Amino acid sequence: EAQVTQNPRYLITVTGKKLTVTCSQNMNHEYMSWYRQDPGLGLRQIYYSMNVEVTDKGDVPEGYKVSRKEKRNFPLILESPSPNQTSLYFCASSLRSGTSGINEQFFGPGTRLTVL
């Protein structure tokens, strides 16, 4: 089944304790992205990756890191989490098209993170 998977689905942690949220897709998509969802704000892009070893900042990258060593995986790293990073996080992936750029994005199930 074609899908985007994320782990963990739920995480409660404390301020300053490094954590990684994994994201994996099995659709051979070049493009992957991380979003955070907050009430009243919709989804905002954190980081994206156009392909292996190619990453760039989205709208809200502060406090996050990413890496793209393999095509299928795009982990999100919080080196020193803070309470304002409490949010619902979604990973997404997409094919790239030569004509219309990035097409529809497929989303993972989400990771609900609470930082105390």
Partner 1 sequence: AQSVSQHNHHVILSEAASLELGCNYSYGGTVNLFWYVQYPGQHLQLLLKYFSGDPLVKGIKGFEAEFIKSKFSFNLRKPSVQWSDTAEYFCAVNSGASGNTGKLIFGQGTTLQVKP
Burial class (CB in 10 A: 0-12, 13-18, 19+), 43: middle
Per-residue interface string for the shown chain with partner 1, residues 38-77, x marking contact by CB under 8 A = --xxxxxx--x-x-----x-xx------------------
**Site for partner 1 contains 102 (CB under 8 A):** yes
Residue 10 interacting with partner 1 (CB under 8 A): no
How many Cβ atoms sit within 10 Å of the Cβ of residue 25? 22
Residue list 19-38, contact with partner 1 (CB under 8 A)? 31, 33, 35
Residue 85's region, left for phi above 0, alpha for psi from -120 to 50, else beta, is alpha
Residue 77 · residue 65 · CB < 8 Å: yes
β 76-78/4-7 pair status: unpaired
- Determine, following the binding rule CB under 8 A, whether residue 108 of this chain makes contact with partner 1: yes
Q: How many binding residues for partner 1 (CB under 8 A)?
A: 32
Query: Smallest distance, Å, CB 85 to partner 1?
Result: 19
- Name the site residues for partner 1 (rule: CB under 8 A): 31, 33, 35, 40-45, 48, 50, 56, 58-59, 90, 92, 94, 96-110
